[in-house]
């Protein structure tokens, strides 16, 4: 775990997220092998770099993930698997760091804030990329999110879309993850 925590990642606000095509293909392939024709989603780690507000996602790997359909607060992400995979990826390309995580959504879910908070242990400003593996429209069915802290009456965590397309503030306290 020390290897993961010592990485140098820019803590500057995210302005743009670039996801390389190989990453998208890898995620869809993982979905087709693990969760095709089910209501399950797959989750994994995004690797790349972050510089001057631009997150460049160049690689990814899947992580075993389970969640309870009836109780969204119950979920499991295999930390040991994740840490051993990152250690192996680090040997192959020392320039790639953890920049966030992905999900095959197709939309934000209630427990995504909890999973996202977990990735703060590995990177100061993680991104969440949601890929819709069964899109209904033409185009690249991805959205990238990152969290911001808002100081109002109470400190709240919000997710903010920032893929270089639109930026919209989502307040999970008003209506959890309304798209």
Q: Is residue 6 part of a domain?
A: yes
Q: Is residue 140 part of a domain?
A: yes
Q: Is residue 179 part of a domain?
A: no
Range of the domain at 33: 2-170
In total, the chain counts a number of residues equal to 179
From residue 161, alpha-carbon distances to 13, 23, 74, 166 in Å are: 12, 19, 25, 7
Structure token pair of residue 10: 């820019």
Q: The domain that contains 36 carries what CATH number?
A: 3.40.140.10
Q: Is residue 139 part of a domain?
A: yes
Contacts with 145 (C-beta within 8 Å, 6 or more apart), sequence order: 108, 127, 128, 129, 130, 159, 160, 161, 162, 170
Q: Is residue 162 part of a domain?
A: yes
Q: Is residue 178 part of a domain?
A: no
pLDDT in tens, 98-120: 999 999 978 888 889 899 999 99
pLDDT < 70: residue spans in the chain: 1-12, 150-179
Distance CA 80, CA 82 (A): 5
The pTM score is: 0.77
What is the domain count for the chain? 1
Helix, strand, coil shares, percent, the chain, to 5: 20, 35, 45
Q: What is the pLDDT of residue 12?
A: 66
Supply φ then ψ for residue 120, to 5 degrees.
Answer: -65, -20
Cβ atoms of 173 and 154 within 8 Å: the answer is no
The secondary structure of residue 118, as a DSSP letter, is H
Q: Is residue 153 part of a domain?
A: yes
Q: What is the pLDDT of residue 139?
A: 81
Q: Is residue 89 part of a domain?
A: yes
């Amino acid at each position: 775990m020390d290897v993961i925590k010592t990485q140098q990642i820019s803590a500057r606000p995210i302005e743009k997220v670039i996801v390389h095509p190989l990453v998208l293909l890898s995620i869809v392939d993982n979905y087709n092998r693990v969760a095709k024709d089910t209501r399950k989603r797959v989750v994994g780690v995004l690797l790349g770099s972050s510089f001057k507000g631009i997150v460049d996602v160049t690689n990814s790997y899947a992580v075993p993930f389970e969640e309870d359909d009836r109780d969204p607060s119950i979920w499991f992400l295999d930390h040991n698997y994740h840490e051993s995979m990152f250690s192996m990826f680090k040997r192959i390309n020392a320039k790639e760091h953890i920049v966030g995580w992905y999900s095959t959504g197709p939309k934000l879910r209630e427990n995504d804030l909890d999973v996202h908070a977990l990735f703060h242990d590995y990177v100061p400003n993680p991104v969440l990329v949601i890929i819709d593996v069964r899109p209904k429209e033409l185009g690249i069915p991805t959205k990238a999110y990152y969290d911001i802290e808002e100081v109002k009456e109470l400190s709240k965590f919000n997710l903010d879309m920032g893929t270089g397309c639109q930026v919209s503030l989502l307040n999970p306290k008003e209506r959890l993850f309304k798209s």
